[in-house]
């Protein structure tokens, strides 16, 4: 049975040689971290060794499915509404696609409503979702506390909610009330992003951090990145750039031009809480004559959308990303709803962090770990683990 999607709009440091050396060192670091760290002041040999090992593990692609293999059979005839923070956010859109794929596999109907990135738009979108009386509603990438009235209406109607990046931690949430929240561990994502900088720079870097403090999840992630970078005295945070995601396309090019003027060659690395900042930064880097392979070397601490992979694969102003397995998380959302409908607890699954560079992407455009589709389909069909 095919599902039907309807999307509703609510209003009309180094040059390439250094990068190649980083790739050879499994994700950005030299083969012997102590040798590099000892060549000048400011290195952090002990922190760097730990960072390199963490990056090596995160860059592995020979992984197998480590998520659930048992659970309730498919509950038939259900409908979902996916309320998106904004469908211009590639992470939000990527998860929506995964939900649609999984809904088709399990035999449910899905509708997507776009909140268009504003509080009023998100509130209106969630109001419309509740009015449709679906079996379940996805909170797609926004803080549900912005929609307390709509949440109360959903609770009164006994409509379960599953979040994606809705609160800081994965798993069930009592306040706001969510059956579960699907996300990687923000602490792990933040730490591996900072470790990639520490490992690749030999413990000496000038870093710009891009974030959106209006989103509690993003603000928390940026704070964690900042603290991990501070563990290495030779890594200096040159600037903390608070640019709201809806304003990124307008503000980021101007800010990048200003930063290049202020810091020049001292700016060797960048970390952003979302890959989209580097899409917006690219024209300013290009206009300033900076090489696509860096410096600065740029890593996105989420979400790993196709455009980020394209920039990484072509070495155009992004060197790495810590991608969410967006499609897999869409399938997980559907499975979590099925558990809710069947009266079972949430699965508790949290995807491990992964780092993508040109060296390990295989030319792909997403991080799509193997094994989850057949595993979920076997669960929903009532079959034993394969």
Question: What is the per-residue pLDDT across 160-179, written as a single tens digit (0 to 9) for each?
Answer: 999 999 998 999 999 999 99
Q: Which residue has the tokens 């891009």?
A: 210
Question: What is the per-residue pLDDT across 57-86, written as a single tens digit (0 to 9) for each?
Answer: 999 998 889 999 999 999 999 999 999 999
Kindly report the pTM of this predicted structure: 0.79
pLDDT of residue 89: 83
pLDDT of residue 63: 84
Q: What percent of the chain has pLDDT over 70?
A: 89
- DSSP characters for 40-96? STT--HHHHHHHHHHHHHHT-------S----PPPPSS-EEEEEES-TTSHHHHHHH
pLDDT of residue 303: 80
Strand pairing report for 171-173 and 178-182: antiparallel
Pairwise CA distance, residues 386 & 383, whole Å: 8
The more confident residue out of 28 and 5 is 5
């Amino acid at each position: 049975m095919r599902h039907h999607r309807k999307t509703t709009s609510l209003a009309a440091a180094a040059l390439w040689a250094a990068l190649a050396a980083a790739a050879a060192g499994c994700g950005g670091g030299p083969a012997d971290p102590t040798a590099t760290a000892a060549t000048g002041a400011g290195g952090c040999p002990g922190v760097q060794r730990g960072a390199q090992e963490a990056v090596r593990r995160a860059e592995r692609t020979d992984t197998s499915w480590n998520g659930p293999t048992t659970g309730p059979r498919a509950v038939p005839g259900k409908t979902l509404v996916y309320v998106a923070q904004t469908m211009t956010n590639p992470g939000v859109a990527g998860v929506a696609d995964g939900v649609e794929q999984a809904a088709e596999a399990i035999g449910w109907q899905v509708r997507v409503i776009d909140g268009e990135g504003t509080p009023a738009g998100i509130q209106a979108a969630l109001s419309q979702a509740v009015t449709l009386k679906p079996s379940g509603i996805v909170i797609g990438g926004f803080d549900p506390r912005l929609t307390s009235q709509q949440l109360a209406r959903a609770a009164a109607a006994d409509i379960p909610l599953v979040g994606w990046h809705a609160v800081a931690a994965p798993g069930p949430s009592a306040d706001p009330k969510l059956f579960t929240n699907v996300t990687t561990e923000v602490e792990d994502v933040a730490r591996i992003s900072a470790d990639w900088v520490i490992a690749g720079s030999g413990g000496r870097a000038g870093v710009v951090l891009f974030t959106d403090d209006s989103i509690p999840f993003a603000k928390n992630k940026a704070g964690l990145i900042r603290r991990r970078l501070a563990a290495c005295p030779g890594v200096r945070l040159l600037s903390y750039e608070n640019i709201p995601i809806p304003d990124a396309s307008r503000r980021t090019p101007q800010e990048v031009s200003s930063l290049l003027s202020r810091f020049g060659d001292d700016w060797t690395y960048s970390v952003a809480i979302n890959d989209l900042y580097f899409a917006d930064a690219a024209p300013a880097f290009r206009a300033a004559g900076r090489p696509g392979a860096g410096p600065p070397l740029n890593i996105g601490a989420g979400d790993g959308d196709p455009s980020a992979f394209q920039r990484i694969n072509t070495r155009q102003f992004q060197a790495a990303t810590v991608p969410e397995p967006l499609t897999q998380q869409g399938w997980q959302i559907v499975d979590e709803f099925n558990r809710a409908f069947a009266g079972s607890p949430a699965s508790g699954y949290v995807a491990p962090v992964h780092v993508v560079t040109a060296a390990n992407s295989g030319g792909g455009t997403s991080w799509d770990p193997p094994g989850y589709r057949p595993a979920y389909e076997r669960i929903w069909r009532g079959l034993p683990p394969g």
